[in-house]
A = this chain, B = another copy of it.
Amino acid sequence: MARAVSETHGEILAAAARRFAVTGYRGTSLQDIAREVGCSKATVLYHFANKEALLAELMAPAIGVLRDLDDQLTGRTGAAAQEVAAAGFVDLAVRFRREIAVLRGEFPELLCQPAFAHIQEISDRLRDALAGHSDRPGARIAALVLLAGISEACAEFADIPDDELRAALLALVRRAVEPVDAPLTHPPTTEDKDS
């Protein structure tokens, strides 16, 4: 065997991304990944210190973009923060669909690990921004529903083109977010439906 260094390293990373996206982090064993690559489990652990390090390297790009989005949020309030949070998170979720799928349902445990220490705080700030920094329950609930739902949708609709998914999600967020004091800039659709 004995492939070039970076080659095997990358193959393991790609195989892990594929498996994690299907069966989740906990649901995927190092043996599974090794089988998909065609090497031994020991080889996987030769290239990566442990299973968590493998995940961390896999999530690094997405986390970097999330950090950037968090930076853009500082200082903004109200409708401006809502708009930045909405557009930023939709774009992030669409671009990193597979990485998002990996974390499905494993957030609580994974966030305790040191490599992902700050994600919880960042996503809290993101949710707060999407709620227009309002403390009304309706606004906070809507923000959580949208963030969680978008993640799930991106993980599920793997076959829809990026721009189409992004447009549909953005339109949904704009009409679903609770407007802060000033109304959001969206075309007045047929909102008047009595019940």
Please give the residue numbers on chain A whose beta carbons come within 8 Å of chain B beta carbons, in ascending order.
Answer: 23-24, 26-27, 83, 104-106, 108-109, 137-138, 141-142, 144-153, 156-157, 160, 164-165, 168-169, 171-172, 174-176, 178-179, 181, 189-191, 193, 195
Is there an interface contact between B164 and A145, defined as CB atoms closer than 8 Å?
no
Copies of this chain, whole number: 2
21 residue pairs from A and B, CB less than 8 Å apart: A24-B105, A83-B195, A104-B105, A105-B106, A137-B164, A138-B168, A141-B165, A141-B168, A141-B172, A144-B153, A145-B149, A145-B152, A145-B169, A145-B172, A148-B151, A149-B149, A174-B193, A174-B195, A175-B175, A175-B176, A179-B193
Contact flag A157-B175 (CB < 8 Å), given A26-B26, A148-B152, A149-B148: no
Contact flag A189-B193 (CB < 8 Å), given A105-B24, A146-B145, A146-B149: no
Q: How far is the CB of A20 from chain B (nearest CB, A)?
A: 12
Cα-based distance from A171 to B176 in the complex (angstroms) = 9
Cα-based distance from A23 to B172 in the complex (angstroms) = 31
A26, A27, A172, A195 pick with most chain B CB within 10 angstroms: A172
The residue that A27 contacts in the complex, of B109, B160, B171, with Cβ under 8 A, is B109
